[in-house]
Amino acid sequence: MFDAVESLVLDLLEWVANGERSYDEVMDAWRTSCPRFPVWEDANVRGLVVKQHVDGRIVVRVTSSGLALLERRGLSIKNRAIPDRLNE
């Protein structure tokens, strides 16, 4: 059974995987000060997302581990292009 944070982490991963998101955009949408819903923090600690510098800006991408989690849960992933360096 999913808990609330796990469900929200999956929502975050699906949202990021389906379109390039800037770090600022992700923070505006997902940062929270509520200790009961540490969605962004949990996704980072679990290695499901990563920040990258791309063309002078910071973007957030789903890692291969995050994509695997989405696939196990049967969620939609349109943007599957993940650079190999994320797995290093």
What's the CATH code of the domain at 12? 1.10.10
Q: Please report the pLDDT score of residue 83 as a whole number.
A: 42
Helix, strand counts (H, E) of the chain: 4, 3
Task: Output the CA torsion sign for 53, 54, 57, 63.
Answer: negative
User: What is the domain extent for residue 11?
Assistant: 4-87
Q: Is 63 within 8 Å of 70 (Cβ atoms)?
A: no
pLDDT of res. 15: 93
CA distance 18 to 15: 5
Q: What is the pLDDT along the chain (88 residues), one digit of tens a residue?
A: 357 788 899 999 999 998 889 999 999 888 777 777 688 889 999 999 999 999 999 999 999 999 999 988 887 666 544 443 443 3
pTM for this structure?
0.77
Domain count within the chain: 1
Say what the pLDDT of residue 82 is: 45
d(CA 28, CA 74): 27
Phi, psi of 66 (to 5 degrees): -65, -40
